[in-house]
């Protein structure tokens, strides 16, 4: 059965639901403190950030914000046919000019996706631009990027769950775990 075959790919749990929830609460407290009541345009990078985005948004409580999303496709530097190519598949609905844009990413690995998005958004003259990532995986950085808010430091492994996928599966897991077999091996 397909589900059983998929389950056999799941390895050690790296962050359980309670660890994720406490990282989200801490990030929300830092963001509320730093923006001090200033409205935020919260920009989620789909699809990976979906779970983190939804939890962070609610943890921000009564802080004034608007929601928007971008969809990107990326072909990391090591992947076949890829030269660190990032493409914007869906742009923002609102104009970022003059807004306090806060990018919300699931995980920063090589840094190519975040670097592309920060450059793209910066050129459209937001009032301020910051990045928030649930996880930083700093081992294979190709471009240096500044992440203003980091929830957790990920191990050097391919992770799934809580929005992160392997072949579009596992995004719904309420925890983050390693994949037993690396997808590129
Ligand atoms: P970067 O351009 O290498 O920093 O890639 C960031 C994007 O790659 C993330 O937003 C994820 O969608 C994806 N990614 C990076 N590491 C992982 C992982 O361990 N599991 C699943 N997706 C990942």
Per cent of the chain over pLDDT 70 is: 89
φ and ψ at residue 117, rounded to 5 degrees: -70, -40
What is the distance in A from the centroid of ligand 1 to the CA of 108? 6
In the predicted model, is pLDDT for residue 76 greater than 70?
Answer: no
- pLDDT tens per residue, range 85-101: 899 999 999 999 999 99
The number of angstroms, rounded, from the C-alpha of 53 to the middle of its chain's C-alpha atoms is 8
Q: Are 90 and 69 contacting, i.e. CB atoms less than 8 angstroms apart?
A: yes
pLDDT digits (tens, 9 = 90+) for 123-152: 999 999 999 999 999 999 999 999 999 999
Q: Tell me whether residue 16 is one of the annotated catalytic residues.
A: no
Question: Residue 174: how many CB atoms within 10 A of its CB?
Answer: 11
Contact between 163 and 20 (Cβ < 8 Å): no
Distance CA 15, CA 156 (A): 14
For residues 40 and 67, the answer to whether their CB atoms sit within 8 Å is no
Q: What is the pLDDT of residues 145-179, one digit of tens each?
A: 999 999 999 999 999 999 999 999 999 999 999 99
Average pLDDT over the chain reads 92
Measured from the Cα of 112, ligand 1's closest atom is: 2
Q: Which residue has the tokens 């920060």?
A: 118
Q: Looking at ligand 1, which atom is closest to the CA of residue 116?
A: 2
Tell how far the Cα of 132 is from the centroid of ligand 1, in angstroms. Answer: 14
Catalytic residue among 7, 85, 91, 109: 109
The four Cα atoms 91, 162, 29, 118 give a dihedral, to 10 degrees, of -30
Axis-axis angle for helices 17-35, 50-59 (nearest 10): 50
CA dist 166 and 57 (Å) reads: 25
pLDDT at 73: 87
Structure tokens at 77: 């530097």
- Residue 6 has a pLDDT of 61
pTM score, whole prediction: 0.92
- The confidence score (pLDDT) of residue 62 equals 96
Tens of pLDDT, residues 40-56: 999 999 999 999 999 99
Higher pLDDT, 83 or 116: 116
User: Quick one: pLDDT at residue 85?
Assistant: 84
Q: Measuring CA to CA, which residue among 145, 166, 174, 150 is closest to residue 26?
A: 150
């Amino acid at each position: 059965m397909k589900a059983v075959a998929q389950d056999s790919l799941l390895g050690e749990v790296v962050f359980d639901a309670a660890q994720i929830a406490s990282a989200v609460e801490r990030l929300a407290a830092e963001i509320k403190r730093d923006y001090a009541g200033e409205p935020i345009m919260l920009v989620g990078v789909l699809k990976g950030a979906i779970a983190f985005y939804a939890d962070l948004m609610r943890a921000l409580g009564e802080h004034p914000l608007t929601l928007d999303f971008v969809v990107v496709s990326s072909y990391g530097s090591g992947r076949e046919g890829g030269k660190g190519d990032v493409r914007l598949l869906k742009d923002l609905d609102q104009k970022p000019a003059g807004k306090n844009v806060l990018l919300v990413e699931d995980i920063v690995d090589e840094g190519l996706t975040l670097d592309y998005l920060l450059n793209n958004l910066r050129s459209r003259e937001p009032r301020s631009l910051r990045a928030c990532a649930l996880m930083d995986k700093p081992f294979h950085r190709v471009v240096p990027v500044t992440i203003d808010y980091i929830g957790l430091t990920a191990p050097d492994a391919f992770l799934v769950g809580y929005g992160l996928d392997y072949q579009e599966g596992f995004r719904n897991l309420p925890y983050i775990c390693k994949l037993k077999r690396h997808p590129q091996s």
